[in-house]
């Protein structure tokens, strides 16, 4: 059995295992079973902290509740950064991930800031299927999707499509989210966001997360929303992205994305062979 933390960032929740001293490699089926909210721990992502590949503080592996491993997760990065910062006296840490390295530091008020890197807007970087069209005005012809208008796409460590709409309340996320995630135009699938602009510095959004579904918060989606909105001239250089779980502050500094938001430790337990036990008292985060 190995200890784990149940953590969340604005309700986007994780089971986090520190496997730096004792390797832990669950199968896809084990993660799916543990992620089940009726019979398992219940989470959006399973996070493994491992030894870093090239001098970073640690490596973060991210496995979605559907068992598929993905490149990046902003809310999980804040949770992992909090664990690493608690261990050491340095003012910042660097987290390696499949989506690239991320620097993180404390921002005050129980919040963590993470440098999420540079957004990429090219069709091959996102990636889009060959001949898909303009990545910043991607049109869909299906009757269920045509009324949504065009999507603006970016890669912020993972692929995103952002729709600016008059009202997020009018979007049938449960129907169009899965259709868009698995649309042939996205060969690696995509995270899908619908955004209502309240002002250049304040938006409201809902997100269908790749491999998860509708989520209370998605850190990389907030980054993508701010990045594409600023790139298109619709949003300011600092944006509050209001998600169902709460707000994230996204700043664009020198072409890089800095995400700031909270994290929480919900409870702790022990995990092994696809089963878990829950400790009687949580730890402080």
Shared-domain flag, residues 37 and 95 = yes
Shared-domain flag, residues 170 and 67 = no
Phi and psi torsions of 207, nearest 5°: -135, 135
Is 193 part of any domain?
yes
Shared-domain flag, residues 160 and 185 = yes
**Which residue, 129, 250, 125, is CA-closest to 184?**
129
What percentage of the chain carries pLDDT values higher than 90?
A: 91
Provide the domain limits for residue 98. 2-104+264-278
pLDDT above 50 for 284: no
Shared-domain flag, residues 93 and 17 = yes
Is residue 16 within 8 Å of residue 79, measured between CB atoms? yes
Domain count, the chain: 2
Is 59 part of any domain?
yes
Residues 6+ apart with CB under 8 A from 231: 119, 121, 136, 152, 154
**Which residue, 149, 238, 153, 145, is CA-closest to 187?**
153
**What is the model's pLDDT at position 282?**
52
What is the mean predicted confidence (pLDDT) over 159-173?
Answer: 97
29 is known to lie in a ligand binding site: no
Question: pTM score, two decimals?
Answer: 0.93
Shared-domain flag, residues 236 and 274 = no
Shared-domain flag, residues 85 and 62 = yes
pLDDT tens per residue, range 271-282: 987 789 999 865
Is 195 part of any domain?
yes
Is 135 part of any domain?
no
pLDDT tens per residue, range 178-187: 999 999 999 9
pLDDT tens per residue, range 108-121: 899 999 999 999 99
- How far is residue 52 from each of residues 86, 93, 203, measured CA to CA in Å? 18, 12, 36
75 is known to lie in a ligand binding site: yes
Catalytic residue (choose from 73, 79, 153, 223): 73
158 is known to lie in a ligand binding site: yes
Cα atoms found within 13 Å of the Cα of residue 278, Cβ hemisphere only: 11
**What is the model's pLDDT at position 253?**
83
Is 130 part of any domain?
no
Q: To which residue do tokens 């042939």 refer?
A: 184
Query: Is 218 noted as a catalytic residue in this protein?
Result: yes
Shared-domain flag, residues 211 and 155 = yes
Determine the Cα–Cα distance for residues 11 and 264; give it in Å rounded to an integer. 9
8 is known to lie in a ligand binding site: no
**What is the model's pLDDT at position 197?**
98
136 is known to lie in a ligand binding site: no
pLDDT tens per residue, range 234-281: 999 999 999 999 999 999 988 899 999 999 999 999 998 778 999 986
Is 136 part of any domain?
no
Catalytic residue (choose from 79, 153, 218, 223): 218
Shared-domain flag, residues 96 and 157 = no
Shared-domain flag, residues 10 and 49 = yes
Query: Is 79 noted as a catalytic residue in this protein?
Result: no
Is 240 part of any domain?
yes
64 is known to lie in a ligand binding site: yes
Is 112 part of any domain?
no
User: The domain spanning residue 193 has which CATH number?
Assistant: 3.10.310.10
Copy the structure tokens of residue 64. Answer: 């979605």
Shared-domain flag, residues 230 and 268 = no
175 is known to lie in a ligand binding site: no
Shared-domain flag, residues 92 and 167 = no
Shared-domain flag, residues 6 and 38 = yes
Determine the Cα–Cα distance for residues 63 and 45; give it in Å rounded to an integer. 5
pLDDT above 90 for 19: yes
39 is known to lie in a ligand binding site: no
């Amino acid at each position: 059995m190995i200890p784990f933390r149940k953590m969340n960032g604005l309700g986007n929740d994780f089971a986090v295992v520190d496997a730096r001293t004792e390797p832990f490699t669950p199968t896809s089926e084990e993660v799916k079973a543990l992620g089940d909210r009726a019979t398992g721990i219940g989470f959006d992502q399973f996070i493994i902290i491992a030894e870093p590949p090239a001098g970073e503080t640690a490596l973060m592996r991210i496995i979605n509740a559907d068992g598929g491993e993905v490149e990046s997760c902003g809310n999980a990065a804040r949770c992992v950064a909090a664990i690493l910062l608690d261990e050491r006296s340095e003012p910042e840490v660097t987290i390696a991930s499949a989506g690239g390295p991320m620097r993180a530091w404390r921002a005050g008020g129980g919040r963590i800031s993470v440098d999420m890197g540079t957004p990429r807007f090219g069709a091959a970087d996102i990636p889009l299927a060959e001949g898909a069209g303009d990545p910043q005005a991607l049109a869909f012809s299906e009757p269920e999707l045509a009324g949504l208008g065009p999507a603006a796409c970016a890669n912020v460590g993972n692929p995103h499509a952002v729709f600016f709409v008059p009202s997020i309340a009018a979007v049938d996320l449960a129907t169009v989210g899965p259709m868009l995630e698995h649309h042939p135009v996205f060969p690696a699938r995509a995270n899908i966001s619908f955004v209502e602009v309240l002002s250049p510095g304040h938006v409201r959004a809902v997100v269908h997360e790749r491999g998860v579904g509708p989520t209370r918060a998605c850190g990389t989606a907030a980054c993508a929303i701010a990045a594409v909105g600023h790139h298109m001239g619709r949003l300011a250089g600092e944006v509050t992205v209001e998600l169902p779980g709460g707000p994230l502050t996204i700043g664009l500094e020198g072409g890089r994305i800095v995400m700031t938001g909270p994290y929480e430790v919900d409870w702790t337990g022990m995990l092994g062979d696809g089963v878990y036990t829950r400790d009687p008292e949580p730890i402080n985060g």
